[in-house]
Amino acid sequence: MKGHVVVTGGAGFIGSHVVQQLLEKGHTVKVIDDLSAGRKSNLPPDVELSVKDVRAISSDDIAGAGVVIHCAAQVSTFKSVDYPEEDFSRNAEGTFRVLETLRKHNPKALFIYTSSRSVHGDIPAPHVADENWPYNPSTFYNVHKIYGEMLCKIYSQLYGINYVILRPSNVYGPRQPYWAGGWYNFCLPGSSPVVSNPGIKTIESLKIGDLVLTHRGRYRPVTKVFKRRYVGELIQIKTMYYWEPLSVTPEHPVLAIRCPKVFTDHWRRASIDFSAARWVMAKDLEDGDILLYPRPKLPHGQAPTHILLSDYMDIHVEAGKIYGYTRNQYVERCKGKEYHIPLKIPLNDSFIRIAALYLTEGCVGTNGKQIYIVLSEVERNTAEQLCQDIKNVFGLEPRIEVRQQNHAVNIYVNSAPLANLFTKLFGRKSSSKHLPDLFFSLPKDKLEMLIEWMVKGDGYIDLRNRSYIKYASVSKTLIYQLRDILLSLGLFPSIECRKIGGKAVIAGRPANLNDVYILSWYNHPIRRRLWISEEYVYLPIKWIRKSYYDGYVYNLEVEEDHSYVVGYHTLHNCAYWFQLAIEGKPLPIYGIGEQIRDYTYVVDTAKAYILAIENPDAWNQTFLLPTGIGTSLNQLAKKILEITGSKAGVEYYPPRKGDIQRFVGSYEKASKVLGWRPETMLDEGLRNEYEWIKRDLSKKGD
């Protein structure tokens, strides 16, 4: 029969293939999908798509439908173990909402329910399960699928709704959602500080194309940003040397070294293999383990010799002339005098000193036409050096004002162009201070000079304590930038935050008090030398806690490296087996790898839905959709490694709770009643999936 069909979860893995075959059969289709695992590109552009959670389904969504196919679900058995409430809401409650809406508004529609072979649990050898094999749930996912099956039968008995229950086996093939493996793949609260270029950005503010630091110490562009609602547990991990705990969902991979033995003197650790770093799920970490942060590989010495004014000012320059102004000079008129800025500003020692003191002690006036730098009266020599540097670099005459009441020396420079330039290069006020991109490619001696003069402005040196240095700023971005510069120079700073907040009256005016961020390091490292190498900084875990979270969480896909850095910690973005193999990374196997699965190709699986619609004899019955062939995880991994040509092998992890050890099923009933049988062998289907995922990974965005 031809007609109007509604498919929940129709933009997802199985659902989109069902939609494709429905369209080929001449049906009209409406899709309901929240796009948490599905995506629009899985659907033809002319298919009606309602982006909403299936739990919010309404009468309008199913109006006129002859068939409702329910594919929307949380599909991970393991995630249901940690988050049964979330699994119940998405799976059991979602199915109830669809059936209840049908009962009230369209009870004549056929309801096709996507259950799972996992409701049968373990099938001991040499048995092969059929539809009559007893329920044997091992996770909440299985229980909630059984609940859905019971709902189908009760709604049929009480209200006459026709149904078909399909139990797909392990489905694989093109459109497998490697980019969104359930809610675990969306792993960080929106406020998490991602190390980007320049400085830091909250993960919720990042966009496709932004550069982020990866575990290889280099910056790579974000190719996708994922967001979804999450209710459940977060793991909080506090390390030494960094003030803010890392908060992630339990199964997010973190770059770490397992180190079970912790000594009272945390500076000494025995038998640590610093080469044994690997990706460890957050929930498996313990106190005393070590997290890794990559030392940024900055392009030292590749900076230009001059700053071009035209790169930062809205002016027209041609053949060395600025049109509309005095030749070869940008001119600002102020109080009857002319102040000039050169077209090319040298990145010499004088400019570095000016930049350092402006970043620490300077700001732009409220009128936007003046910069001023405030030093203490004991820094008179520094003030005179600064004035001379401003004359040398900009040809401007600063004004010095000594305020004995405040024990301060104020240096003023009246120049709107200079104020505009400094705002764009370094920020206008203390909380917005930052380093321009080009500073990260300065030669090492220039960066060392920058740090030296910034410490003179807002730092503290304890020469009695092995050259212990502290630098404070209210700009979080500036602190993170300086942290990465210090690491590139081989120095290992810690970061702490002093929470201040509130309001105060400063110089007779109300002002907000900002939190203060403090960098601390040894200029000649002694005690920290064990915790930094050429590639990484090592951060011992102080404590691990758990917290409840209800809100949006985020994850990133990052080009090539598939990792990013949050705060002082390195995270992976949960890659899928084929993706890992393509990247030459080991495939993770939980347990010994002898678990047996029955893999069914997604196109074959989708055909069963079409046959169920067309055959009334199948209504109010249940069908398994396996192949009758068992394949171990070790065998599957071997096939994937052979198909991709990867030499990375596998990594074994502890078994996961609720894992089914063996399932092999019979499709005899599906063959007799539906006329369905699997047609695609595993090797052929895996090659199809491999070709698809290669094409998909080559895209830079969706």
pLDDT at 701 over 90: no
Pairwise CA distance, residues 684 & 682, whole Å: 6
Residue (of 187, 206, 179) closest to 11 by Cα position? 179
Task: Please tell me the predicted confidence (pLDDT) of residue 318.
Answer: 57
Question: DSSP letters of 351-400?
Answer: HHHHHHHHHHHEEE-TTSSEEEEEEEGGGHHHHHHHHHHHHHHH----EE
At 607-627, the pLDDT tens digits run 999 999 999 999 999 999 999
User: Among all chains, which residue has been given the structure tokens 């304890």?
Assistant: 462
Question: Of all helices (H) and strands (E), which one includes residue 516?
Answer: strand 516-522
The predicted-structure confidence for 250-270, as pLDDT tens digits, reads as follows 878 888 988 755 443 444 445
Query: Is the CB of residue 605 less than 8 Å from the CB of residue 168?
Result: yes
Name the DSSP letter for residue 1. -
Please identify which residue in the block is written with the tokens 């799972």: 116
Q: Which domains does the chain have, with CATH numbers?
A: 4-179+595-697 (3.40.50.720), 183-295+533-575 (2.170.16.10), 306-531 (3.10.28.10)
Q: CB within 8 A of 641, min separation 6: which ones? A: 581, 587, 647, 648, 649
Task: Work out the number of other CB atoms within 10 angstroms of the CB of residue 27.
Answer: 19
Q: What is the DSSP letter of 173?
A: S
The DSSP code for 654 is P
505 has pLDDT over 50? no
Which pLDDT belongs to residue 2? 74
Task: Pull the structure tokens for residue 49.
Answer: 């798509």
Cis peptide, bond prior to residue 198, ω within 30 of zero: yes
Q: Are 637 and 650 in contact (CB under 8 A)?
A: yes
Is the pLDDT assigned to residue 695 strictly greater than 70?
Answer: yes
Q: Is the peptide bond before 296 cis (omega within 30 degrees of 0)?
A: no
Query: What's the rounded Cα separation, in Å, for the pair 478 and 458?
Result: 13
Distances (CA, A) of 655 to 81, 156, 585, 640: 13, 40, 20, 21
CB-based burial, 361-398: b 16+ in 10 Å, e otherwise:
bbbbeeeebbbbbbbeeebeebbebbbebbeebbebeb
> Which positions are catalytic?
141
pLDDT category at 456 given cuts 50, 70, 90 is: confident
pLDDT digits (tens, 9 = 90+) for 663-681: 999 999 999 999 999 999 9
Instruction: Give percent above pLDDT 90 in the chain.
Output: 57
Helix (H), strand (E) at residue 415: none
| Cα atoms in the 13 Å half-sphere on the side-chain side of 515 | 11
Listed residue (692, 689, 575, 562) closest to 636, CA to CA: 689
pLDDT tens-digit map of 401-450 = 888 777 788 899 988 888 989 999 999 989 899 999 999 999 999 999 99
CB 571 within 8 A of CB 248: yes
User: Out of 62-76, 186-200, 385-399, 526-540, which region has the weakest mean confidence (pLDDT)?
Assistant: 526-540
Sign, CA dihedral 563-564-566-567, equals: positive
What residues are paired with 318 via a beta bridge?
321
State yes or no: pLDDT of 181 exceeds 50: no
Query: In 162-218, where do the E strands start and end?
Result: 163-168, 170-172, 188-189, 193-195, 200-202, 211-213
Is 0.85 topped by the overall pTM? no
Q: What is the DSSP string of 528-556?
A: TGGGB-SSEEEEEEEEEEEEEEEEEEEEE
If one counts every other C-beta atom within 10 angstroms of the C-beta of residue 675, the result is 13
Which structure tokens are listed for 197? Answer: 């270029």
Average of per-residue pLDDT values in the chain: 86
The average pLDDT across 96-113 equals 97
| Cα–Cα dist 695/688, whole Å | 11
3-state helix, strand, coil in the chain (%, to 5): 30, 30, 40
Measured at the CA of 448, the angle between CA 442 and CA 453, to 5 degrees, comes to 110
**In the numeric block, which tokens belong to residue 475?**
């700009």
> What does the pLDDT read at residue 28?
95
